[in-house]
Structure 1
Amino acid sequence: MPQPGPANTTSHLTTFLIVSIFVIALFPSIFVGIFWAPYNSIAETQKSLTLPSHSRGSYLITDHIVSSLPEIKSYKTGLLNLFIQHTSCALSLNENWDQDVRADMSTALDRIVPEDKKGEGLYRHDAEGSDDMPAHVKSALIGASVTVPITNGRLNTGTWQGIWYLEFRDVKHTRKVVATIQGEKM
């Protein structure tokens, strides 16, 4: 009977490695499942939301977002990204208590990006009205998305922060927001 020695040990190790590579090649899902197991609590969800129709102005929509996304409560930690699918409005995080801040923001943006009500040729793109091109510029300045951290099932905003919807057109429009949540479930 042969004695176990270095040659037999090497032979067993080689056989184990060859069989392991063969199993991984034929059944990669088993391999991925074993090594991905610690990350199984990571989840994501995506929804399309419709915002209440508004004409020009800045509107606090935090409560609307939270009530439309009960899934937030199931995340231990994560991120909520909101993306507005339009080019003449914007989303922002800002003051949530004093309504004058929202009015002042609209006034300030109107000063920064004026309309061409006198037809002086401020903008080439004017087929949709004097408020359209300024709306595009304001949207580019403010942005089409916000990302808010989620901690223990709640949006982790500062005390005075809220999610704003800024509408830059005079006529009311229906606006869609894509909400994406990524994070660790509870």
Structure 2
Amino acid sequence: MSWFQKTITLPSKSRGSYLITDNIVKELPEIKQYRVGVLHLFVQHTSCALSMNENWDSDVRSDMSDTLDRLVPEDKKGDLYRHSAEGSDDMPAHVKSALIGSSVSIPISDGKLATGTWQGIWYLEFRTAKHSRKIVATINGEKTG
């Protein structure tokens, strides 16, 4: 068994749901070295999230962001949440992050991510202002050859 770890910095983005599968594969050419294994991705922040979901129709990402905004609204009046240290979108971002989660694990088979036909890795940003985010990528598995 072999271990590999790398920190990846995502491009700065504002609120929304973004497909980042290609970014991850580009940043981790090491995936090709593994016959079988697992890629674990962990975002080091509490106001964004990672998820596996639809990779084809961008409307799904827009609908996801809109739905999360309806479920956990921004506190524009200041009467919904106690915590608002960084603005009216601060606490809602933490709630959304807790609902979606900070990590995903994807199997590796024959040097490729073993995702389903319509699956992709999503980065969901819950803050209005652009933020740069770091993801710790850990690969564990059996290398080829």
TM-score class, shorter-chain normalisation, is over 0.9
Q: CA shift at 1:115, angstroms?
A: 1.0
**Aligned: 1:125 with 2:83:** yes
Deviates more, 1:109-118 or 1:167-176: 109-118
User: Counterparts of 1:127 and 1:46 in 2: how far apart (Å)?
Assistant: 33
Structure 2 partner of 1:96: 55
* Counterpart selection for 1:85 from 23, 44, 47: 44
**Aligned: 1:162 with 2:140:** no
* Counterpart selection for 1:68 from 4, 8, 27: 27
Structure 1 partner of 2:140: 182
SS of the residue aligned with 1:117? coil
SS of the residue aligned with 2:116? coil
2:3 partner letter: E
Structure 2 partner of 1:53: 12
What TM-score, normalized to structure 2? Answer: 0.98
- Identity score, percent: 74
Please give the root-mean-square deviation of Cα atoms over the aligned residues, in Å. 0.5
User: Counterparts of 1:127 and 1:48 in 2: how far apart (Å)?
Assistant: 28
User: Counterparts of 1:116 and 1:46 in 2: how far apart (Å)?
Assistant: 38
The structure that is strand-richer by fraction is 2
Structure label with greater radius of gyration: 1
User: Counterparts of 1:128 and 1:173 in 2: how far apart (Å)?
Assistant: 13
What residue ranges of structure 1 are gaps of 5+ in the alignment?
Answer: 1-41
Higher relative contact order (CA 8 A, sep 6+): 2
Structure 2 partner of 1:10: none
Q: CA shift at 1:181, angstroms?
A: 0.1
4+ residue runs of structure 1 moved beyond 3 angstroms? none
User: Counterparts of 1:127 and 1:104 in 2: how far apart (Å)?
Assistant: 28
User: Counterparts of 1:159 and 1:52 in 2: how far apart (Å)?
Assistant: 26
What residue ranges of structure 2 are gaps of 5+ in the alignment?
Answer: none
